[in-house]
Structure 1
Amino acid sequence: MQPKQPYWQRYWYHLLFRDEREAAFKPMGHEGLRQVPNNALATKSLEQWVEWFLEEAVDELDDFRGALQMLVYAEATPGSDAKPVLVRTVGLGRR
């Protein structure tokens, strides 16, 4: 018997930061892709969770200047040509 799968799709995200003096986004941290918490997707849509996460991040990173970008994938190990299912970018240091 296989373990019961959740009724929602699993997603993984990559968080990137671009300093206001730089042109390119760079990964935040060294963990690589992180899984979107299953318990969050049980109560929110993926889009709602991403918006909530980025709002919290903007508050936490208020001393940073630049932009924060989240790329969301449907696979834990997307290939180099994989396109994210969702991309959101927010400005930092504008409050």
Structure 2
Amino acid sequence: MLDQLDSGRWELRSREPGAATERLCLPNGRRLIQLRHPGSDCDRFIVQDSPNEVTVQYTCRGRGYGRTHIRRETNRLVQIETQGIAEGLPFDFSAEARRVGDCPG
């Protein structure tokens, strides 16, 4: 399902009041799995995979772990819930991600 998401510039709007909007350049939807462990080489285990939803649990040795659930509404709009431990601290993040254009460059 994540490979069907459109590549490009995406905005993540946290459901946390007052939180800043994050912007990402996504080559594919798999980047959304590890939002709090970007670029890390992590072991992943697919808990659930259906046409419009995926849940992935991952472990990044020495950096923490997480569990992410992504629900696709369209190939340009998804709902994300992720939680785990990063840099020794817990995180719990819920957001809407929407493709807003092409990546610069």
TM-score when scaled to structure 1? 0.36
**Greater relative contact order, per chain length (Cα 8 Å cut-off, separation 6+):** 1
Higher helix share: 1
Larger Rg: 1
